[in-house]
Amino acid sequence: MKRRQFYALFFLLLGFLFIQVKAQDTNTESDLVKKLKALPDIVEVKPVRFDSKLFKEAYEVMIEQPLDHNNPNGEKFLQRFFLSHKDYASPVELETEGYNLRGNYPMELTRILGGNQVFVEHRFFGRSCPKSMDWSQLTVKNAADDMHHIVTTLKKLYTGKWVASGTSKGGETTCFFKTFYPNDVDASVPYVAPINVAQEDPRIYVHLDNVGDPECRKKISDYQIAMLKREDEMLPLVKEEIEKKKYTFSRLSFEEAYEMGLMEYEFSFWQNGPVKCSDIPAPDAPKEEMVKHYMKVDGIGFFSDQSIKGFEPYFYQAYTEIGSYNYDITNMKPYLKHALNPTLQFMCPEGVKIVYHPETLQKVYHYLQYEAQNMIFIYGGWDTWSSTGIELIGRTNSIKLVKDKGYHSTRIVQLAPEQKQLFYDTLEKWLGIKVNRL
């Protein structure tokens, strides 16, 4: 899942390395701006930089949404999205971000479709937060309703084919949108989207017990245990490093965070890459080498106040509807001194009641398996979150493509040639248009 802010930043910066950006003339209003401002609930349209090789203009748009779509006369909030415009008849890629927007850049699927892009920030993140912060309204259904309102509004202008897509938690959002509004788009392409069916889904433990090869898994375990055995030796060096990064810890003690970081290490190693097994220090390596590696994977940073603040909405959703994970500490338990009963629920908003509703994801999983049409699921074989990816049973026309030894950063261009061929052929068949083959 897109749990690491630096991964989102990485792809943002990567996108800017390969695009030519252009600023728009703000003195005159284009035809598009006039049409956008005339649409219901559009309250703000501001020009943003864009890739002039792909688009003609682009805007940051704020649309008014009901906080509770079942109570349209109640509190409202403004939701942000970026609209990158090519022309009104071209396809539209709806990017369902699961977190906050960090910039306007073209997605892989937008390049494939060769059309427009609508990049939507998730409610309760970034600029898309209600004044009341009524957490009870941060639900899967309300988020799907948000997308429906945006799509139906913009379809007044854009008449081409629509494809929804998102990555990680954004991919989950694509799946939720499809479940509740199956006819809003012509196809859906969720990337590396977990569909958890428990508050702390145990399928992740099975994955981590079998991913990669036994030698690599043993190196990971040996490293974790060595870092615990040598904890007193390591803590002063780790403290120096976190002070450089200006991390603070208020919900856990520094020592608890250190041990939780070692539990998170295994999850992150297989999710994120590109750290290799050969990079893992031996248990008796110098402490400086051990700590340098620990900070490179940066499990402890995940539990800092700075990280938790940005992920509170995610963990609220995780522990109330969309599910999360925990750690199998069997091999580490004899050596733990502080984090004896690990759980990630402490990362939920403080003082907010947490009640898990398993029926939400049960509904989604059942729908995706038995009813959802025109969906292509992309996964990385080594990615920890692939353990809770959808399992198709042949009841729909949907397909699942898994990159061998792929991580959470898996994209279509990284798939095997035959997988890419299937992807492009299938998408063209469903949409009835030619697409760009990257």
Backbone dihedral region of 433: left (phi > 0), alpha (psi from -120 to 50 degrees) or beta?
Answer: beta
Helix (H) or strand (E) holding 1: none
Burial of 121 (0-12, 13-18, 19+ CB in 10 A): buried
Question: Where in 5-136 does DSSP place strands (E)?
Answer: 21-22, 42-47, 50-51, 57-66, 76-85, 92-96, 116-120
Structural domain includes residue 271: yes
Examine the domain organization and report whether 343 and 362 are in the same domain.
no
Domain finish residue from 315, 347, 379: 347
Burial of 264 (0-12, 13-18, 19+ CB in 10 A): buried
Structural domain includes residue 203: no
Structural domain includes residue 204: no
Examine the domain organization and report whether 190 and 262 are in the same domain.
no
Distances (CA, A) of 311 to 121, 126, 200, 415: 14, 11, 17, 30
Structural domain includes residue 9: yes
Residue 409: per-residue pLDDT: 97
CATH of the domain at 50: 3.40.50.1820
Residue 279 sits in which domain range?
Answer: 210-347
Structural domain includes residue 394: yes
Helix (H) or strand (E) holding 379: strand 376-380
Examine the domain organization and report whether 75 and 167 are in the same domain.
yes
What residues contact 155, with CB distance under 8 A and at least 6 apart?
162
Structural domain includes residue 313: yes
Examine the domain organization and report whether 315 and 402 are in the same domain.
no
Residue 85: per-residue pLDDT: 98
Q: How far is CA 189 from the centre of its chain?
A: 13
Examine the domain organization and report whether 156 and 114 are in the same domain.
yes
Domain finish residue from 347, 382, 417: 347
Structural domain includes residue 205: no
Examine the domain organization and report whether 27 and 131 are in the same domain.
yes
Distances (CA, A) of 276 to 29, 280, 282: 52, 7, 13
Examine the domain organization and report whether 119 and 243 are in the same domain.
no
Domain finish residue from 347, 370, 387: 347
Examine the domain organization and report whether 217 and 308 are in the same domain.
yes
Examine the domain organization and report whether 148 and 275 are in the same domain.
no
Among 97, 98, 92, 96, CA closest to 112: 92
Among 93, 269, 66, CA closest to 167: 93
Neighbours of 429 (CB within 10 A): 11
Domain count, the chain: 2
Examine the domain organization and report whether 67 and 90 are in the same domain.
yes
Examine the domain organization and report whether 250 and 318 are in the same domain.
yes
pTM, to two decimals: 0.93
What does each of the 438 residues of the chain score in pLDDT, given as a tens digit?
544 444 444 444 444 444 444 545 556 899 999 999 999 999 999 999 999 999 999 999 999 999 999 999 999 999 999 999 999 999 999 999 999 999 999 999 999 999 999 999 999 999 999 999 999 999 999 999 999 999 999 999 999 999 999 999 999 999 999 999 999 999 999 999 999 999 999 999 999 999 999 999 999 999 999 999 999 999 999 999 999 999 999 999 999 999 999 999 999 999 998 889 999 999 999 999 999 999 998 789 999 999 999 999 999 999 999 999 999 999 999 999 999 999 999 999 999 999 999 999 999 999 999 999 999 999 999 999 999 999 999 999 999 999 999 999 999 999 999 999 999 999 999 999 999 999
Residue 6: per-residue pLDDT: 40
The one-character DSSP state at 261 is: H
Structural domain includes residue 154: yes
Examine the domain organization and report whether 248 and 134 are in the same domain.
no
